[in-house]
Amino acid sequence: MTSVDTEVRPISRKGIQMMSELYELTSLACPMLGTSDVAKAAREWVAAPEATGTLLGCWRTEFSTLGRLLILRSFDSSDALHQERRRALLSANPFNAGRLITALEMASYQRFPFLPPARPGAPGDVYEFRTYKLKPGGLPPTLAGWEAAIAPAKEYTAHLMINMYALDGPPRITHIWGFESLAQRASLRSAAFSAGVWPPKGGPENVLEAVSVIAMPEGE
């Protein structure tokens, strides 16, 4: 597969107003051998006539906690996101997989304002989900550091699918990366660190806890 075509380019505030900024990242826990069945059911759920939002990806976890399905969707408005959240919460069979899933988590996010929206179908064989729990007040310097680092580290950040900050729960950010392989990921990160263009200045100082999950596309 070719390299991930997700080059990050600054866009104007006017342009941002016209494109989705809101996201929901859903985690479904299920038996490890049940992820394919849950993925099929969840894809039907998000494609239902009454559903809102745009499906951007569905992944199964391979490293970190296993037996998890991760679903990312974008929404054009908070009303649309909340409507879809209520649909799941009030359903006796959420994501059409109530008999299989053992836990359901849904988190709301907003895109970093200087990044383009995530696109459905961005190519990649290996994805990394990195979540950083931030110190209180740590988001502004984190945003500033990332904005300054995107272009200098473009060989690496071209593989950034999205970075977004949480609108509920503890202060945190979640960034999703797509690579051809774990070897490509390691090579790009090592080169960016060696060149001094990564990590973003002011970023690590505001991280209280960091979690990395490696996941593979499921059900495509």
Q: What is the pLDDT of residues 132-163, one digit of tens each?
A: 999 999 999 999 999 999 999 999 999 999 99
Q: Is 58 exposed, middle or buried (0-12, 13-18, 19+ CB in 10 A)?
A: buried
pLDDT in tens, 89-119: 999 999 999 999 999 999 999 999 999 999 8
Whole-structure pTM over 0.85, yes or no?
yes
Phi/psi for 124 (5° steps) reads 170, 145
Confidence of residue 124 (pLDDT cuts 50, 70, 90): confident
Split at pLDDT 50, 70, 90, the class of 121 is low
Token pair belonging to 113: 């304002």
Q: DSSP string of the chain?
A: -PPP--------HHHHHTS--EEEEEEEE--GGGHHHHHHHHHHHHTSTT--SEEEEEEEEEESSSSEEEEEEEESSHHHHHHHHHHHHT-SSGGG-TTT-SEEEEEEEEE-TTSPPP-TT---SEEEEEEEEEPTT-HHHHHHHHHHHTTTTHHHHTTEEEEEEESSSSSEEEEEEEES-HHHHHHHHHHHHHHT--SPTTSGGGEEEEEEEEEEE---
Residues 194 and 186: their CA atoms lie apart, in Å, by 12
Q: Tokens at residue 141, please?
A: 């310097």
- The pLDDT of residue 120 is 77
Residue 15 has pLDDT above 60, yes or no: no
**pLDDT for residue 119:** 82
Q: Which residue segments constitute the domains of the chain, with CATH numbers given?
A: 13-217 (3.30.70.100)
Instruction: Give the residue, 11 or 143, on which the prediction is more confident.
Output: 143
What is the average pLDDT value for the chain, to the nearest integer? Answer: 90
Assign 209 to helix, strand or coil: strand
User: Using alpha carbons only, how large is the chain's radius of gyration in Å?
Assistant: 17
